[in-house]
Structure formats: C-alpha cells, structure tokens
Structure 1
Amino acid sequence: MVVFPVLAGIFIVHYGWRSAWTYLGFIVIIIALLPSLIFIYEEPESLGVKLKNDEKVKNIIVNFSLGEAARTKSLWIIAIGTGVLYFFHSGINTHQAAFLQDRDIGLGLSSLVISFNAISTGLGSIIWGLICDRVKIKYAFSGVFVSSMVALLTLIYTFDIYMAILASIFFGFAMGGMLAVPAVAYANFYGTDSLGKIRGITHPVTTVGAASGVMVSGVIFDIYSSYTFAFWIYFLMSIFMLFFSLFLDKPRNFLDKPRNEMN
C-alpha cells in the first residue's frame, strides 16, 4: 500500500497503464501470493504452539452457529457498517488522485499522498486493535466513523499538499479501523467455530459497498464536475452510521447462560 501507488505512477508515466498493470501483477505474485502459500498455517498447533487449558475454555465460551448469528441484529450492524466503510474506501481511494489533481496537486505528489494513506492505515490497524482490547466494540466501531468524518471534512477543504497529506493520514487511520475492528467484532461476538460461514454470508454486503463506492463517486463527478458533493454524502452517511453503531451489543446464545440454567 505504501510502495504500489508510487510504483504505479512511475510505471504509468514510463510504460503506459497496460504495462503498469502487468508489472504490478508480477510483483503481487512474487511478494504476496507465493509467501502466503508457503508460510500461512491454519491453526497455531500447526506451528507447535499449544494453547493453555484456560485459553481453550475461554475460546469455546461463545460460539454461534450460522443460523444463530444470522438472527442477531449485531451481525447485520457489523456487516452494514463494514460495507459502508468499504464504500467510503473505494469511493475515495480510487478517485483520490483525480480529486487531488482537480485541486492542482500533480500526479507525483498525489502518489506521495496516497502512500501516506497506506502508512497511516498500517499504523491505524495496530492502534485500533489496541483500542478494541480496552473499550467495548460498539465504541470502537463508532470511533471509526468519527475518524471517517474528520477525514472527509479535511479532504473536502483540501487545497494544498499539506492539507492533502493530513486528510490522507486521517483517512488511512479510519481505514485501519475498517480492517481491524470488524474482524475483532466477529470473533468476539460469535466465536470461531462457524466464523468462516458467518463472515461468508456478510461478505456480499462488503463487496457491494466496495463495488458501488467507485461508481457513485464517478457518477456524481460526471453530473457535478466535482467530487465534493460525493464526499458530503459520505460525511452524512458517517453521521448516520455513528449512531447506528451505538446499538451494537454483544449477542447471547445458550453457551452464555449460567450452567444451572442449562440443566
């Protein structure tokens, strides 16, 4: 995320966009696909890591089936909220370079700004992970939308490279929350036994958000010759999702009940 925007800019300038895609594809295969196939393991036990007994017990305290999870409102709050965040991500990130050029910031500097976005996303993921360990998930999730609001306001009023970098940092921090908070929420709320199925049924919501954000920003630009109106819409959506996410509470199933209630 840090290097690719810069490389893409260099490749496009020197070799054209078609060749740039080819070169970036080879880079992905070499530094992402092959290491993933070689070094990623399914379980800690595959690496010889043994969980303590209390860790095993803690891990099975909450485990929802797919049907149980689908009947809880929290699952769909997480899914819709994540879809909205991916909607922001694609709607802003894909058009960010064009938006900055409209604000008289050149292609080279735009690539630099997007790299700041990537750095902030990486650091933000770590920070949001720590936040999830210290506060309730609903407050962390709400905080991601507050960060999005700050990023959008900064971006809307960006007219020079310094404001562009600041907006990119705020936006990257919010996107770090997009990557970290929902993943923690799914596991903490529903356990890990059916996590793949649960995330599988919610993934289409995320996909729709990611796919439609690009189109919405582009259509609005074609109509108004500006991205500003789109960003104001995203800002209002952030306000709505901020309050919507406050209804996010940890669901209960029979495994949460005291043992004497189960007998």
Structure 2
Amino acid sequence: MLAAGFLVLFIGGGARFAIGLTLRPMVEEFGWDRSQLGVAVAVFQIVSAAAMYGAGTLADRISLRLVLGGGLVASGFAIGLMSLVSVPWHAVVLYGLFFGIGNGVASIAPVGVMVTRAFPGRTGLANAVVSSGMSVGQLVMIAVLAAVLVTIGWRSVFVWLGIAYVVLLPLLLAAIPGAIDAKAHAAMPPRSGLSVAEAARTRQFWMLILVYAICGFGDFFVSTHVVAFAQDRGIDAFFAGNLLALMGLTGLLGVIVAGYCSDRSGPVWPTAICFAARAGVFALVLVDQSPLSVAIFGLVFGLTFLVTAPLTVVFVRDSFGTRNLGALTGLITMVHHICGGIGAYMGARIFDSSNRYDSAFAIMFVTSAIATLLAFALRRPREA
C-alpha cells in the first residue's frame, strides 16, 4: 500500500515539474513570453487544486483504485500530447486543464486518506514516506529528463512522461490492497469529527488556509522558475535542470524528518522551521546571485519543499477529526495549489516586465516571514 502511494506521487512529482525544465527552450523556440507559459502553469494550479478537493471528497466515499486510476489515465494522456504543442493555448488546454485534472486526482489528497486509514498510529511518518515519492520522482525523473532535454529536445521529455504513465497504471492497480479500499471502509462505524462547514467556523481552519496559501505561493514560483533563473545567472542547461532534480533529493530528507518529528512533537515546529529557512534563502538571493548562491538557494529551498505535504493530514486529523478527512485535506491542498498558480504567474510577469526576478524574491521573503509567525500561532491538537 505504501508502495502504491509512493508510485503515484513519484510520477506525479516528476511530471508536474517538467514544465519548469522545458520553460526556457519552449519560449525560445516559439518566441513566446514566459508569462504565456505562466498562464498554463496558473491554470494547472487552479484546476489541479479543484480536482484535489474533488478527489479528497471521493476518497471518503468510493473506490480508491477508481479515483487514482482515473487520475493517472488523464495525466498520461495530457502530458504525452504536450509533445505536440505549437501555440500557447495548446499548453493551457493540455497541461493546464487536462493534466491539471489528472494530477489533482492522483495526488496527495486521496493518497493521504489511504495511508492515514492504514497507519492511524504513525500518520506523520507514513505520510512522509509516501510523500517522499514526490521528492524521489523529482530527483530521478528530472535528472533523466534533463539529459533527454539536452540530447533529444523538449518534445521528447513529454513523450517519455506519457510512456511512464502507461507503464505505471497496471502496477498501481495491483499494488492497492483491497483491505484499505474505500469500499471496504463503508461498513465501518461512522468516523468522528467536524463537517466541512463546522471546521470552516474555527480559527484553526483559517490559520491553516493562510499558511498553506503562502506555502503554495512560494513552492510553485520556485519550481516553475528556478531552472530558468539559474540559466539566467550563467549556469548551463544541464546543471540547471539537475539543480531542480537535486532539490528533490534534499526534499526527501526534509519530508522524512518532518514526518518523524510530527509524530513526536506535533506538526507546528516543522512548519515554522520550514518557512524560516525559506525566508533565509530568499534573503540570500536578494543580496547575491552568484552561481554558488543560486545552488545554495535551490538546495535549501528543496529541503523545505515538501515539508508541509505529510503534515496536512496530521493537522486536519488532529484538529477536525477523521469524519471528513479527505474533503478537508483536499480543500486545504486546493488553496495551496491555487496560490501556487498565482505565484508561478506572478514570477513570469515580473520577469517579463523587468528581466529579473528580484521583486518576486522580495515578495517571497516577506510572505515566508509572515508564514513563520502564523505557524507558531497554530494551535496544537489538544488546544484546537
């Protein structure tokens, strides 16, 4: 079961960052502005966010095999056809709309529900293990795709991603044990906790929404633009692509440590440390953009990149119960991704108007500092 969740997030984590790898060669080939591809990323974030909420709700009610399998089919179809784009609206429809739906459905929201049901006593660590699939996927797939990019071209990146989805689907369907499928839980006693409406009337809910909004805002600004930023600062395409891959390696360490600490001391401290580290590296690239500083920025940000992913389920379970675990997790993740789209598009607009990312880094520094303070204001489970 952990293997199934890991595989889903492995391929989803690698595929969703492919657009950051191909951003510069695509705009150079077609003569587009970065903001034109930024629209596709923004649409992806919004659509995948809505799909996550829907998938989380469905995970509380129907077969997890059906939910995750459907998401993988849509993802593979859309990402493979990205190899054929020739005008910006193609990317908006294929990457933004269809891949957004697939990636949002086959995501941390239903996977987190699956894992939490199976490991109620080790929720933080178990979710960290499956969430590490995103880091490993980013590390392995982006490293491979960076080599494909420089030797064959950006279109082949999307072709190979489509093939990877075709290969993964039967493995996934075989790996999800029937015992933890949602249908098997239909006969269980009703789970306790708040409804979505009741949770939305609490202070804790809105604090979580703010923290995750800022998290997504920074996450997808960096993942979309870090490769192009590194190349702008003199790092060649292969090493810039591998910087994004290595962010997955440091992210693996960060997510496992965060999940382990969460099971022992709660999710507040890992969340606060995550945003404090982000504020520090955004400050670094505001004052120094040498290749060394860019590399430090990428690797340290990567350490924080997935920290909040396994903690979402922990915050929701401990604060609001398990009655609507999927729906509430999906709702918070939806806000995270919508704000991620805003961050990605904002970065593109700032670059197109100034040919630099400095103003975006300043905004990210301020919002990360605010999120650090907000994290400390989150109540621990016994207080929520």
Shorter-chain TM-score bucket reads 0.7 to 0.9
Amino acid at match of 2:319: F
- TM-score with structure 2 setting the length: 0.57
Query: Match for 1:36 among 123, 148, 172?
Result: 172
Q: Which has the larger radius of gyration?
A: 1
Listed as ranges, the gaps of 5+ residues in structure 1 are 47-59, 257-263
- Is the Cα–Cα contact under 8 Å of residues 212 and 333 in structure 2 kept in the other structure? no
Give the match's secondary structure for 1:219.
helix
Residues 312, 329 of structure 2: 8 Å contact kept: no
1:68 equivalent in alignment to 2:68 = no
Cα separation, 2, equivalents of 1:34 and 1:153: 45
Match of 1:92 in 2: 222
How far has the Cα of 1:237 moved from its partner?
Answer: 0.5
Provide the rounded CA distance (Å) in 1 between the counterparts of 2:247 and 2:322. 31
Answer whether contact 1:116 1:165 (CA < 8 A) is retained. Answer: no
125, 129, 140: which is aligned to 1:3? 140
**Given the alignment, which residue of 159, 164, 175 partners 2:290?**
159
TM-score (norm 1): 0.81
Q: Secondary structure at the match of 2:303?
A: helix
CA deviation string 1:175-222 (max 9, x = no partner): 131222223212222222210122233343122112111101000111
Amino acid of the residue matched to residue 262 of structure 2? C
Q: What amino acid maps onto 2:142 in structure 1?
A: P
Alignment of 1:24-173 (within 5 A): 24-31=161-168, 33-41=169-177, 63-156=193-286, 157-160=288-291, 162-173=292-303
Specify which of 332, 341, 361 is matched with residue 211 of structure 1.
Answer: 341
Once the two structures are TM-superposed, the CA of residue 141 in structure 1 deviates from its matched residue by 2.0
Distance 1:193 1:91, change over 3 A: same
What are the ranges of 5 or more consecutive residues in structure 2 without an aligned counterpart? 1-137, 183-190
Q: Aligned residue pairs: how many?
A: 241
Q: Which residue of 2 aligns with 1:246?
A: 376
In structure 1, C-alpha distance between the alignment counterparts of 2:313 and 2:329, rounded to whole Å? 9
Once residues 373 and 345 of structure 2 are traced to their aligned partners in structure 1, the CA distance between those partners, rounded to angstroms, is 26
For residue 42 of structure 1, report the CA deviation from its aligned partner.
Answer: 6.8
Report the Cα distance in structure 2 between the residues aligned to 1:230 and 1:190, rounded to whole angstroms.
35
Residues 113 and 164, structure 1, Cα contact 8 Å, conserved in 2: no
2:29 corresponds to which residue? Answer: none
Equivalent residue letter for 1:30: V
Deviation at 1:44, TM superposition (A): 5.2
Superposed CA RMSD: 2.8
The one-letter amino acid of 1:102's match is: D
Q: Which moved more, 1:180-189 or 1:37-46?
A: 37-46
Q: Which shifted more, 80-89 or 35-44?
A: 35-44
